[in-house]
């Protein structure tokens, strides 16, 4: 690895200057605060100084002329950051979930599985959360897959203005869940009588009074089903894009061959396209599923923390930050992580296996 080493004096001098300068800056900022225009920029200053320091080290490593060593050196900072800020904090949450911590001061008294037990033992709110999440996940994934695939098939017909439609269908994805939750909250306003607005007003004007609905304020448990509508509206375009990518990668020769053999268009989709899209469906289910299992923003904007539309994310927020019950909140967070992991980890393992086979 270190066989080739070429000493370059100018580069070495520069590297040493950077290392020294960076180290001095870090040391300096560690002791004195950096305040510019009333803003405390100490942490950003330390970060920049650290970068300068590390650039010097990279310059020295680059003299070894080994790509492996250099790439490890370049990746190391982000690997350390991910290890601390993602996995370190996951570990810390798990630790907190086994404690009695309630109130502002940390209390690491061992409580075993008590926090989890409290969630599963006679806790009607958590039962509602699990039911709502299941209902939302099933509706959301099925809705996105069916509508997404339908749109993809339509756009696959090589029609004019395809790019325009693709843009229109994909566009809702660029809106944040909070914003679409607020807007769909207006559209799905359940008021009646002289206060009728939104979609209900359209129904009334069109004379479709039987369609006027309470929307997401429908009594439990079915109110949750209506929250699927904005979510599907927002992400079916994304699913469509996934499927279109999959369809584009299917060679036209296959379709031609099938046509020559006398297959109808329906049969081409049924026996050639759909089977070849299976990996795309799997990816879509994983991506959509992990979104819906930890959904928070859309639901909180639509439901304003109403119990009928409660999900674990909201329960976690109110328990932790309104109720200062940090141990219980951590337990809810860990359960959310586990539910996502059950979905994602097997997929990642399978991906890794196929990659190593290649």
Partner 1 sequence: MNKKNLYGIVAILVVAATVLSACGPKATPTPAASTEVEVFSWWVGPGEADGLAAMVKVFNAQYPNIQFINAAVAGGAGTNAKAVLATRLAANDPPDSWQAHAGQETIANYVAAGQVLPLDDLFKSTGLDKVLPATLLPLISQNGHPYSVPVNIHRSNVLWYNPKVLAAAGVTANPKTDFATLDAFFAVCDQIKAAGKICLSLGAPWTAVHLFENIMIGTIGAQKWSGLWSTPPTTDWAGADVTAGIANFAKALSYTNADASTMTDWQPASKLVSDGDAAFNIMGDWAYGYFANAAPNGLALTPHTDFDWAVAPGTYGVFNFLSDSFVLPVGAKHPDATLDWLTVAASRPGQEAFNPLKGSICARTDCNQALFSEYSQDAAKDWTANVVVGSLFHGVVAAPAWAASITTAVGLFQADTTKTADFQAALVAACKSDGTCK
Which residues of the shown chain bind partner 1 in the complex (CB under 8 A)? 14, 17-18, 21-22, 24-25, 28-29, 32-36, 45, 48-49, 51-52, 55, 59, 102-106, 124-125, 128, 182, 185, 188-191, 193-195, 214-217, 219-220, 302-310, 318-319, 321-325
Would you tell me the crossing angle of helices 162-170 and 124-155 to the nearest 10 degrees? 170
- Sign (positive or negative) of CA dihedral 23, 24, 27, 29: negative
* C-beta closer to partner 1: residue 25 or 235: 25
For residues 125 and 311, the answer to whether their CB atoms sit within 8 Å is: no
- Rounded Cα–Cα distance for residues 114 and 119 (Å): 9
- Rounded Cα–Cα distance for residues 266 and 115 (Å): 54
In the complex, the smallest distance separating the C-beta of residue 358 from partner 1, rounded to whole angstroms, is 29
In the complex, the smallest distance separating the C-beta of residue 213 from partner 1, rounded to whole angstroms, is 12
Q: How far is Cα of residue 128 from the mean position of the Cα atoms in its chain? A: 23
- Rounded Cα–Cα distance for residues 172 and 236 (Å): 9
Structure token pair of residue 293: 């299992």
- Secondary structure of 24-80 in the HEC alphabet? HHHHHHHHCCCEECCEECHHHHHHHHHHHHHHHHHHHHHCCCCHHHHHHHHHHHHHH
Q: How many helices (H) and strands (E) does the chain have?
A: 18, 2
- Rounded Cα–Cα distance for residues 333 and 356 (Å): 33
For residues 26 and 49, the answer to whether their CB atoms sit within 8 Å is: yes
Structure token pair of residue 38: 């009333």
- Rounded Cα–Cα distance for residues 12 and 23 (Å): 16
In the complex, the smallest distance separating the C-beta of residue 21 from partner 1, rounded to whole angstroms, is 5
- Rounded Cα–Cα distance for residues 290 and 84 (Å): 22
In the complex, the smallest distance separating the C-beta of residue 182 from partner 1, rounded to whole angstroms, is 8
* C-beta closer to partner 1: residue 245 or 323: 323
In the complex, the smallest distance separating the C-beta of residue 334 from partner 1, rounded to whole angstroms, is 19
SS3 286: helix
In the complex, the smallest distance separating the C-beta of residue 115 from partner 1, rounded to whole angstroms, is 12
In the complex, the smallest distance separating the C-beta of residue 80 from partner 1, rounded to whole angstroms, is 20
* C-beta closer to partner 1: residue 66 or 283: 66
* C-beta closer to partner 1: residue 188 or 331: 188
* C-beta closer to partner 1: residue 11 or 255: 11
- Rounded Cα–Cα distance for residues 83 and 143 (Å): 36
* C-beta closer to partner 1: residue 165 or 203: 203
* C-beta closer to partner 1: residue 34 or 170: 34
Which of 291, 296, 278, 290 shows the shortest CA–CA distance to 344? 290
* C-beta closer to partner 1: residue 75 or 352: 75
In the complex, the smallest distance separating the C-beta of residue 332 from partner 1, rounded to whole angstroms, is 13
């Amino acid at each position: 690895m270190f066989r080739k080493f070429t000493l370059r004096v100018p580069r070495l001098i520069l590297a040493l200057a950077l290392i020294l300068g960076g180290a001095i800056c870090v040391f300096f900022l560690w002791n004195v605060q950096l305040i510019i225009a009333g803003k405390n920029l100490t942490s950003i200053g330390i970060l920049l100084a650290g970068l300068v320091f590390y650039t010097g080290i990279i310059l020295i490593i680059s003299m070894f002329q080994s790509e492996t060593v250099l790439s490890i050196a370049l990746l190391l900072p982000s690997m350390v950051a991910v290890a601390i800020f993602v996995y370190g904090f996951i570990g810390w949450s798990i630790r907190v979930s086994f404690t009695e911590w309630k109130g502002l001061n940390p209390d690491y008294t061992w409580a075993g599985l008590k926090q989890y037990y409290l969630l599963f033992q006679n806790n009607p709110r958590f039962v509602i959360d699990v039911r709502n999440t299941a209902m939302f996940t099933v509706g959301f994934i099925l809705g996105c897959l069916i509508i997404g695939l339908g749109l993809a098939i339509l756009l696959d017909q090589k029609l004019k203005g395809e790019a325009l439609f693709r843009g229109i269908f994909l566009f809702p994805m660029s809106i944040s869940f909070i914003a679409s939750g607020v807007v769909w909250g207006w559209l799905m306003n359940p008021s009646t009588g002289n206060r009728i607005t939104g979609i209900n007003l359209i129904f009334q004007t069109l004379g479709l009074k039987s369609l006027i609905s309470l929307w997401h304020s429908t009594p439990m448990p079915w109110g949750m089903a209506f929250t699927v509508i904005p979510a599907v509206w927002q992400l079916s375009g994304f699913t469509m894009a996934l499927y279109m990518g999959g369809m584009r990668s299917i060679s036209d020769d296959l379709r031609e061959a099938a046509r020559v053999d006398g297959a109808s268009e329906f049969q081409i989709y049924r026996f050639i396209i759909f089977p070849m899209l299976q990996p795309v469906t799997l990816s879509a289910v994983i991506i959509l599923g992990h979104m819906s299992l930890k959904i928070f923003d859309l639901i909180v904007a639509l439901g304003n923390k109403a119990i009928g539309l409660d999900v674990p994310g909201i329960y976690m927020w109110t328990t932790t930050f309104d109720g200062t019950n940090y141990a219980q909140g951590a337990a809810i967070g860990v359960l959310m992580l586990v539910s996502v992991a059950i979905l994602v980890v097997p997929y990642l393992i399978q991906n890794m296996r196929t990659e190593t086979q290649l």
